Amino acid sequence: MGRIYLVASGKGGVGKSVFSSNLSSTYADRGVRVALVDMNVGLRNLDLYMGLESKVIFDVADVLSGVVPPRKAFVRDRRFPFLYFLATTQKKEKFTAGHDEMKRLYDYLRRSFDITIVDGPAGVNRELSLAATDVNAVVMLTTPEYVSLRDADLVEQTLRKEGALNRVYIVNKVYKDFLGNSKLPTVEMITTTMKIPLLGVIQYDDDIHLSANSGIPAILGNESYITRNFNKIADRLLMY
Ligand SMILES: Nc1ncnc2c1ncn2[C@@H]1O[C@H](COP(=O)(O)OP(=O)(O)OP(=O)(O)O)[C@@H](O)[C@H]1O
Ligand SMILES: [Mg+2]
């Protein structure tokens, strides 16, 4: 049975979608069967980060409401042996699914793919709670800022109460020039606030930002420290 990982955060804009695109590409580069699902209902942008926007016809709301079978809605990313992408809907009112529909989709994903990465919305809402049902782990993203940490902690605790058993976190956009700056939380403060296991740390890097905006995940291309870092994160996540 395949594994499903949900990417979530407290604050918006911390890098969930860019992380999801690079993580799914890292797994797909290994030749395993990967699905990437955008559950940020109403705010579609993962298709752009993946460079797949022109291929999208159907979305996750079409699948959940039974308008199309999942295999018709997934878009193939031909840069990889086996990576399929399911876009979110831009119309929030189209998203009327409940737990049963979500469970059916997750059952299909577990049968058809080795790994599914679900890119969630920021904060807690109905779609996040639905997406968190029965996943192997939730990956919380935070940046090294007090506001981002506080919100991540809150969302993480809410998901724990809702039954998400495994929760880990990533500190993203770490500016190396700011390391040790007394105005920002230290690594110790971050680990004390987030009581769950740390999955990895990702630097702020112009290449990550520019690649995302070109529709090319940063892990593609030359072997760089970014690719190595994502591979380590991908390995650690497989423990869940
Ligand atoms: N490690 C990084 N280094 C540099 N830029 C980054 C990094 N991670 C993300 N970004 C940039 O941060 C911005 C926000 O990223 P992204 O859209 O992935 O955030 P998000 O958490 O998915 O946002 P939302 O909550 O709106 O869905 C983008 O401009 C992206 O290129
Ligand atoms: Mg996003």
- Number of the ligand closest to the Cα of 21: 1
Listing DSSP states for 178-238 in one string gives: GTT-TTS--HHHHHHH--SPEEEEEE--HHHHHHHHTT--TTSSS--HHHHHHHHHHHHHT
pLDDT at position 188 is 83
pLDDT at position 179 is 76
Please state the domain extents for the chain.
Answer: 3-237
- 10-39, pLDDT tens digit by residue? 999 999 999 999 999 999 999 999 999 999
What is the position in ligand 1's atom list of the atom closest to the CA of 205?
Answer: 3
What is the 10 CA–ligand 2 centroid distance (Å)? 12
Report residue 227's pLDDT band, with 50, 70 and 90 as the boundaries.
Answer: very high
What is the position in ligand 1's atom list of the atom closest to the CA of 19?
Answer: 18
* CATH number 3.40.50.300 given to 3-237: yes
Coil, strand or helix at 142: strand
pLDDT at position 33 is 98
Looking only at the bridges linking them, the beta strands covering 83-86 and 34-38 are parallel
Mean pLDDT of all residues belonging to the chain: 94
152 CB within 6 A, ligand 1 = no
Report residue 221's pLDDT band, with 50, 70 and 90 as the boundaries.
Answer: confident
Helix (H) / strand (E) containing 127: helix 126-132
pLDDT at position 95 is 86
pLDDT at position 70 is 94
Cα torsion angle, 183, 185, 186, 188, sign: positive
- 168-194, pLDDT tens digit by residue? 999 999 988 777 788 888 888 898 889
